[in-house]
Amino acid sequence: MDSTFVVGIDVGGQTSKIGVVDARGTVLAQTVIRTDTYDEIGPYIAELAEAVKKLIRESGTEGKVRGIGVGAPNGNYYTGTIENAPNLRWGHNKVEFSKLLSEAMDGLPVALTNDANAAAVGEMTYGAARGMKNFIMITLGTGVGSGIVINGEVVYGHDGFAGELGHVAAVRNNGRTCGCGKTGCLETYASATGVARTAREWLELSDEPSVLRSLDTIASKDVYEAAKDGDKLALKIFEFTGKILGRSFADFIAFSSPEAIVLFGGLARAKEFLTEPIEEAMNANVLPLWRGKVKLIYSQLKESDAAILGASALAWEL
């Protein structure tokens, strides 16, 4: 049995989750520190390293940890840096994350990438994409992220930032305004936020009765609950969301001809409402040679562990 371990760190805007993981994808121990109480990277890295060391000690893996994998917004695999990350208080300028953490960890190697790429590596190492050489991971959360795997390797592109499929054009004309400054981006429709936007927009534009009308604020979770109760408008919202996703997936297939598209993230929980419209739109918009051939599958990683597992998987490649 393999007796080495890796550490996975998921850096989020509010908290950073840390876990020690074995080769089978079992999280032996995990802990959390705050991300948002630091304005400067120095003190944050110091506490992070402290927490990692403590966790390694407590899990009895001292001397057996091979490396650290980090998933972070705007993380660049090539340079190990985080740049222009609006949700990280210390991440507005360029931060030499991997280098700083490795130094604070007495030279332990550190690999870093963005959250969605980490999720793709995690799925390939421990999850639904085990054994697959060509697949596209789509994370449906607050935004839409992606990690593209070709020939068994994550695509980082010329600059390390490949795989921004949340920002392809889902709607070319009069599309919704996106946080990135463009309009019509896939994530303005097909993220959790996008689903809530669709709900608010449609409630405004029609008189159709819906339980959603009684709510002060609407989140994607509310639309999901309403759909489960058979609310027609809510069901139509998921049908629309699935269609938007499926049409874009068809274009992704034309690019890299993956074996599967793997869905992950909060919104992917609505799979009973999304699968059919996605597959229908996807198959209607691909070339005949791919019709009915590209699998649509859902992440198999336990959701509470997924972010840590994804990040940790990077470290096996160090």
Rule CB under 8 A: which residues touch a second copy? 84, 133-134, 148, 150-151, 153, 155-165, 167-169, 171-172, 180-182, 247, 250-252, 254-259, 285, 287-290, 293
- Comparing CB distances to a second copy, the nearer of 28 and 169 is 169
- Which residues have CB under 8 Å from 80's CB, separation 6+? 96, 97, 98, 99, 110, 111, 112
Residues 6+ apart with CB under 8 A from 315: 6, 7, 8, 66, 67, 68, 69, 109, 111
**Which one, 67 or 147, has the nearer CB to a second copy?**
147
Supply the minimum distance, in Å, between the C-beta of residue 61 and a second copy.
33
- The least CB distance from residue 168 to a second copy, in Å, is 4
Measured from the CB atom, is 102 or 146 closer to a second copy?
A: 146
> In which element (H, E) is residue 154 found?
strand 153-154
Compare residues 226 and 281 and give the one whose CB is closer to a second copy: 281
Task: Show Cβ contacts of residue 234 under 8 Å, excluding neighbours closer than 6 positions.
Answer: 199, 210, 211, 212, 223, 224, 226, 227
Under a CB-based contact definition with an 8 Å cutoff, are residues 170 and 185 in contact? yes
C-alpha distances (whole Å) from 218 to each of 176, 194, 221 are 18, 11, 8
- Residue 139 beta carbon to a second copy: minimum distance, rounded to whole angstroms: 15
CB of 309 to a second copy, least distance (A): 24
Q: How far is the CB of 251 from a second copy (least distance, A)?
A: 4
Q: Which is nearer to a second copy, 246 or 310 (CB)?
A: 246
- What is the three-class DSSP state of 182? coil
Instruction: Pick between residue 28 and residue 168 the one whose CB is nearest to a second copy.
Output: 168
Minimum separation from the CB atom of position 150 to a second copy (A): 6
Contacts of 97 (CB under 8 A, 6+ apart): 41, 45, 70, 72, 75, 80, 81, 82, 110, 112
Nearer to a second copy, 49 or 253 (CB): 253
Strand partners of residue 33 = 16
Closest distance of CB 281 from a second copy, Å: 11
**Hey, what are 185's tokens?**
């981006």
